[in-house]
Amino acid sequence: MLSSLTCTLLTTHAPLLDIWHDLAVTATVTATGTVTPTSSAGGALNGAISLTPTVMVRALTLGALAFTLGLILGKPIINWLRDRRIGKAIRIEGPVNHQIKTGTPTMGGLIFLIPLVIVIGIFMYIPKFKSLLLPLGIVVSCGILGGFDDLLSTVERNRGGLKARFKMAWLLVIGAIAAWILYALLGHHWLFLPFVREPIDIGLWYIPMAIIAIVGMANAINLTDGLDTLAGGTSAIAFAAFGVIAFLQKQEPVVPLCFAVVGALLAFLWFNAHPAMVFMGDAGSLTLGALLAVCALMTDQWLLLPLVGLVFVTEVLSDILQVTYFKFTGGKRLFRVAPIHHHFERIGWSETQITMRFWLISMLAGMLGIALALT
């Protein structure tokens, strides 16, 4: 049913594709009428002209298109997951009030992953911007890895998902391949520092830093995905921030990519609003984390990733600090429970209060990140 619906959507919009591709080409036409392709690798370094407003118009329109596709596909996907009993198994050691969520359909990341694949593959003109094959590959590979984990963590199978070491090994493989592509094929080896006008060439050090960013952010958003709308909302804000940063850095293909993710995530949030009809699962959270890191790396402003993703970094640090403190104090706890969003649940904050306050922190962090990108 999903495949037939997708085919119908593509057939209906087929006459618009040529017009849309023409718009993509004319987005970087200079005053003299010459088409000036803007490489995603070092666009701010090679004297590329400033992006025209048309680029942002396309980006926002693609975001709206991704939202529409996600909204159309959302209910059929949820029904498909429910029919196949792909329901989340909630850990017994988790918050007591979360036990009522047992059986809620998981792997709902498909609601934004499928529109993303459609929008990237059809409307972003890959023949001109071949660098978009990298984020497309991230969406597919991380989506498959996370999907397997979701299938093994359902109520029916109750196997707790993939082994942590196995999942980490595959994330490292995906991160290493992506880092090599960024460095060797797309020519990224730069680091922008706030208040320093000239970028720093870090050479081969770029590869391990890129791997850490991709794998670390994938795990960070995966940890953040513990409350309704928490991971989805904070991720949408982070992608919007890097969409603006990409526009400032003249990274033309990254701008529509980021806003397409935002639009697709807003459609997912429609169904994930408390009480959630569906969870994104690892298929969604791992993909979002890796994709956010790749977008940051493609702008060369990846040093801002911990700031723009402040909520995600805080979630990871709270988990690390909890485990470390527990080991060194013989069983004492720094937080009532980790990651930190569950700590706030234990001290009396409602689920909605936590998510809204974390959204506000994400908005502030995104604003500061854009501000530093302008320095």
55 and 27 in contact (C-beta within 8 Å)? yes
| Helix (H) and strand (E) counts in the chain | 14, 2
The DSSP string of 223-251 is HHTTSTTHHHHHHHHHHHHHHHHHHHTT-
In the prediction, which pLDDT does 32 show? Answer: 29
List the beta bridge partners of residue 191.
200
In the prediction, which pLDDT does 5 show? Answer: 45
335 and 322 in contact (C-beta within 8 Å)? yes
Helix, strand, coil shares, percent, the chain, to 5: 70, 5, 30
In the prediction, which pLDDT does 98 show? Answer: 61
List the beta bridge partners of residue 88.
154
pLDDT 10s per residue in the chain (375 long)? 544 544 544 444 444 444 444 444 434 333 323 233 333 334 444 444 578 899 999 999 999 999 999 999 999 999 999 998 887 666 655 565 665 677 789 999 999 999 999 999 999 989 999 999 999 999 999 999 999 999 888 866 666 678 999 999 999 999 999 999 999 999 999 999 999 989 999 999 999 999 999 999 999 999 999 999 999 999 999 999 999 999 999 999 999 999 999 999 999 999 999 999 999 999 999 999 999 999 999 999 999 999 999 999 999 999 999 999 999 998 899 999 999 999 999 999 999 999 999 999 999 999 999 999 999
The helix/strand/coil state of 105 is strand
Residue 108 CA to residue 288 CA, distance in Å, equals: 13
Q: What DSSP character marks residue 88?
A: B
Domain total in the chain: 1
Is the Cα dihedral 115, 58, 19, 49 positive or negative? negative
At 267, list the tokens.
């459609």
* Residue 53: domain span: 2-373
Residue 212 CA to residue 218 CA, distance in Å, equals: 10
